[in-house]
Every structure is written in C-alpha cells, then in structure tokens.
C-alpha cells in the first residue's frame, strides 16, 4: 500500500493511521455490543452512537484552530496518547464488570472529541511530508490502508474478540493508539507549517471566522465543499437503509450480507489506489467532475438492480467513486490553502460537508417507513444527478496558486 517514493515520514504517518484505524474498527462494533449487554433500550443504544457523532459538529472548528496554533506532530502524538488512556480505562472498567450507560456515553464522547483535533492536525500535516503533486496519491494510500485495516481486518475480528473476552477489543484498541503515538513522534520535526511568523494571534472565535472566510472566498474550494454536503445527503440516506434495501429489494440472504457489504470495501480500496493516477491524468477538478458522473451512473444502476450480484457491483463502483472524491477533495484543499490556515479551513470543510449527513439519514428513515426502501435509492440517484450537473456547470480550476493568494489572504482576512 505504501510507496517508497513518498518518503520515510509518509510511511510513518501511514503506519500510524492504519494502526489507529484498525483499533477503531475493533472498538466501534465492540462498543455497540457492549451497549447491548448493558441495556436493550434502543434509545440508549442510539444515544451512544449520537455521543460519538456530535463532537465533530460541536468542536470541529475549535480543533482546527488549535491544529494551526500548536505543533501538529506533537499534537497528534498527545491526542493518540490520551485516546490510549481513555480506551485503556474503558477496558479496565469492562474487565471489572463496572460498565454503565454513563461510562459508555462519556467514553464515546471523549474519543470523538479528541478525534476532531487529531483529524485537523493530520490533514494539515500531510502537505509538509509529501510534494504537492503527490498529495492525491498519498491521500489515496491513506484511505486504502485504512479501508483494509478497518473493513477486512478489524471489523471481522471485533465480534470474535468480544466473544472471547468483552474487554479484549478495547485492550487492543489502546495498544494501537499507543503505537500510533510513537510512530507520529518518530516523524522528523516539521517547520514552517504553522501560522505566519510574527503574525499576531487573535481570539479563538476570530481565528475560526478567519478560516471560514478564507474557505468562503475561495470559489472552487467552496463549491466543492457545498457539492460534498449535497452528495452526503444522498450517501447518508442510502447507508441508513442499506441493510433493509439489500435484504428486501436485492434479496440478499441474511447470511450473505457481510459478503455483500464487503463489495463496498473492495471498491473503496480500488478507488483509493487509483485516485492519484486519475488526478495526474485529468487534473484534480476535472477528475472530481468525472467521478461524480461515474457515481451517478453507479447509484442509478444500484437503484434499478433487483439481484445481489449487479447490486453489489454497483455498490462497489459507487464506493470507489466516493473514496476517490474524498482523496481528491482533501488533496485540492491541501495544495491551495496557506499552511497557517490548513487546520481551520480543513475543519470548516469537514463540518460543512457533514452537516447534511444526519438530515439525509432522518429523511431516508421517514421515507422508507412510508413508502419502502426502493424509492430511497431512486431519490439518492436523483440527488447525485443534480449534484453532477451542478459540478459540471460550476467547477473551474481557475484559482491562483497558494503563493499568489497568500498576500490578499493576509490583508483581507487576518484582521
């Protein structure tokens, strides 16, 4: 998955990300299983999930501020060390059979809150480790490694380990966080990636506004962010009812659902490994438009399919396109945003892009309850068609490079 051409520091970062993702894939299903042993109240179990989803929306922008203020390498190492402590404490609590609903809620909330700072720092650090033209390939390798570690290794092992001992997945998760922290600390110190030398640091709120204003002023990046939010409305909707759609519409046998869902992982890995080549051949912005068109075709095929095989193939193609989009979207921002704003602008991108996800899931649930799951897939395909049309009409790679933008950004947005 890694490439020697990307350098030693990237290999260390890749190893840290894969280690951490493997632990996440162990912990997430184990946390759901643990919640089910504590209570059978679906409202409480759902609350544990929500506790892990709220922090990116509540604290994502704040995490971006501190990712720009603090040394990013040390921040990532400290965050992973703190997460290792939190998960280790949870493992001890599980082993002692002292787990309650409050413990689960606090653990999920703390881990997700720390994750917002880690994600902002990681996004901002990558451009300092690899050349600009290698960013699509580097982001693709990160996503591919994470998909393999999470989908093929961690997730299947979580249930088995939980059955052996409920505390075991959390013990291993703590170990992966500690390993990731050590790998990040092994990175060579990076200079010149934080705020401009001599720049006066403003208030936290002022710095948040600065990042938001920069994103809003960058025409292409802002439009890509809005397109991401619109597409997430459809993606979260289809994912919310995927299991029901597979069982009821595609007639996937319950015993074969895991294999069906694995199609998305295979597609995601393939897309991640090919994103760099696509960007090199077409350019990042044209590639984004092509990817949206391919996703629309795949999602339309998924909505029309009535058999597991074509449905699984369409899902794999759609997942590949989603991963390519994510890789290229991140790479475009990393190449165009000034280094001192990367944490804040990246956090703003993620927050705006994620705002529609809970809306899409809620609408899909209501629509499926009223009309069945089949219309949800059709509505998702229609949404993607509109997003694709908007992209082809509005996306133009006409923004000047970072060097040309750094002076007006400092003059207009740093006040």
Asked whether the CA dihedral 269, 27, 53, 383 is positive or negative, the reply is positive
Q: How far apart are CA 184 and CA 60, in angstroms?
A: 21
pLDDT band at 191 (very low <50, low <70, confident <90, very high): low
Quote the mean pLDDT of the chain: 86
Q: How far apart are CA 58 and CA 297, in angstroms?
A: 35
Beta strands in 62-126 (DSSP E): none
Length of the chain: 415
Asked whether the CA dihedral 335, 337, 342, 347 is positive or negative, the reply is negative
Element (H, E) at 76: helix 72-95
* Residue 241 near residue 376, CB atoms below 8 Å: yes
pLDDT band at 397 (very low <50, low <70, confident <90, very high): low
Q: Provide mean pLDDT across the span 200-210.
A: 84
pLDDT exceeds cutoff 70 at 201: no
Q: How far apart are CA 80 and CA 178, in angstroms?
A: 6
Cα 28 from chain centroid (whole Å) = 15
Q: Provide mean pLDDT across the span 93-118.
A: 92
Tell me the DSSP string of 132-195. GGGHHHHHHHHHHHHHIIIIIIIHHHHHHHHHH-TTHHHHHHHHHHHHHHHHHHTSPP--S-SS
Element (H, E) at 222: helix 219-240
Q: What are phi and psi of 200, to 5 degrees?
A: -80, 130
- Domain 1-190 is of which CATH architecture? Up-down Bundle (1.20)
Q: What are phi and psi of 89, to 5 degrees?
A: -65, -40
Q: Which residue has the higher pLDDT, 258 or 358?
A: 358
Tell whether pTM > 0.85: no
In terms of Cβ atoms closer than 10 Å to its own Cβ (0-12, 13-18, 19+), residue 367 is: middle
Q: How far apart are CA 151 and CA 153, in angstroms?
A: 6
Which pLDDT score, from 0 to 100, does residue 24 have? 86
pLDDT band at 374 (very low <50, low <70, confident <90, very high): very high
Which pLDDT score, from 0 to 100, does residue 337 have? 93
Q: Provide mean pLDDT across the span 300-324.
A: 95
pLDDT exceeds cutoff 50 at 399: no
Q: How far apart are CA 165 and CA 34, in angstroms?
A: 11
| The domain defined by 202-415 carries CATH number 1.20.1250.20 | yes
Task: Tell me whether the CATH fold assigned to 1-190 matches the one assigned to 202-415.
Answer: yes
Range in 173-187, 321-335, 389-403 with the lowest mean pLDDT:
389-403
pLDDT exceeds cutoff 60 at 413: no
pLDDT exceeds cutoff 90 at 91: yes
Structure tokens at 410: 């400092």
C-alpha to C-alpha distances, 235 to 207, 339, 358, nearest whole angstrom: 31, 31, 11
> In this prediction, what percent of the chain has a pLDDT beyond 90?
56
Which pLDDT score, from 0 to 100, does residue 411 have? 27
C-alpha to C-alpha distances, 15 to 12, 19, 47, 237, nearest whole angstrom: 5, 6, 32, 32
Q: What residue ranges do the domains of the chain occupy?
A: 1-190, 202-415
Q: How far apart are CA 194 and CA 352, in angstroms?
A: 23
Which pLDDT score, from 0 to 100, does residue 5 have? 67
Structure tokens at 182: 């050590």
Which pLDDT score, from 0 to 100, does residue 223 have? 94
pLDDT exceeds cutoff 90 at 150: no
pLDDT band at 52 (very low <50, low <70, confident <90, very high): confident
């Amino acid at each position: 998955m890694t490439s020697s051409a990307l350098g030693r520091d990237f290999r260390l970062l890749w190893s840290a990300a894969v280690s951490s993702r493997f632990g996440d894939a162990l912990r997430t299903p184990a946390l759901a299983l643990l919640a089910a042993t504590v209570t059978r109240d679906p409202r409480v179990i759902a609350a544990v999930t929500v506790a892990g989803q709220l922090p990116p929306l509540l604290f994502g922008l704040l995490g971006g501020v501190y990712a720009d203020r603090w040394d990013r390498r040390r921040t990532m190492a400290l965050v992973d060390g703190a997460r290792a402590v939190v998960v280790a404490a949870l493992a001890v609590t599980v082993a002692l059979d002292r787990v309650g609903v409050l413990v689960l809620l606090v653990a999920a909330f703390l881990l997700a809150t720390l994750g917002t700072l880690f994600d902002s720092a990681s996004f901002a650090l990558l451009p300092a480790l690899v050349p600009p033209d290698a960013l699509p390939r580097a982001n693709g390798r990160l996503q591919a490694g994470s998909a393999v570690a999470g989908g093929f290794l961690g997730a299947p092992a979580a249930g088995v380990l939980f059955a052996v001992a409920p505390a075991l997945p959390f013990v291993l998760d703590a170990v992966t966080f500690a390993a990731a922290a050590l790998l990040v600390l092994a990175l060579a110190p990076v200079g010149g990636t934080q705020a401009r030398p001599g720049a006066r640091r403003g208030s936290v709120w002022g710095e948040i506004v600065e990042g938001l204003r920069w994103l809003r002023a960058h025409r292409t990046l802002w439009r890509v962010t809005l397109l991401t939010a619109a597409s997430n409305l459809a993606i979260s909707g289809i994912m919310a009812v995927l299991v029901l759609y597979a069982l009821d519409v595609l007639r996937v046998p319950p015993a074969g659902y895991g294999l069906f869902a694995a199609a998305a992982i295979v597609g995601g890995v393939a897309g991640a490994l090919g994103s760099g080549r696509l960007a090199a051949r077409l350019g990042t912005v044209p590639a984004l438009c092509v990817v949206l068109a391919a996703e629309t075709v795949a999602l339309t095929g998924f909505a029309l399919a009535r058999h597991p095989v074509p449905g699984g193939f369409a899902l794999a193609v759609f997942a590949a396109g989603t991963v390519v989009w994510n890789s290229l979207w991140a790479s475009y921002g990393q190449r165009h945003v000034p280094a001192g704003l990367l944490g804040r602008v990246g956090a703003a991108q993620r927050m705006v892009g994620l705002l529609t996800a809970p809306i899409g899931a809620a609408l899909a649930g209501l629509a499926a309850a009223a009309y069945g799951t089949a219309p949800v897939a059709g509505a998702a395909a229609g949404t993607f068609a509109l997003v694709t049309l908007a992209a082809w009409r509005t996306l133009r790679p006409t923004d000047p490079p970072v060097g040309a933008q750094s002076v007006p950004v400092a003059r207009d947005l740093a006040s």
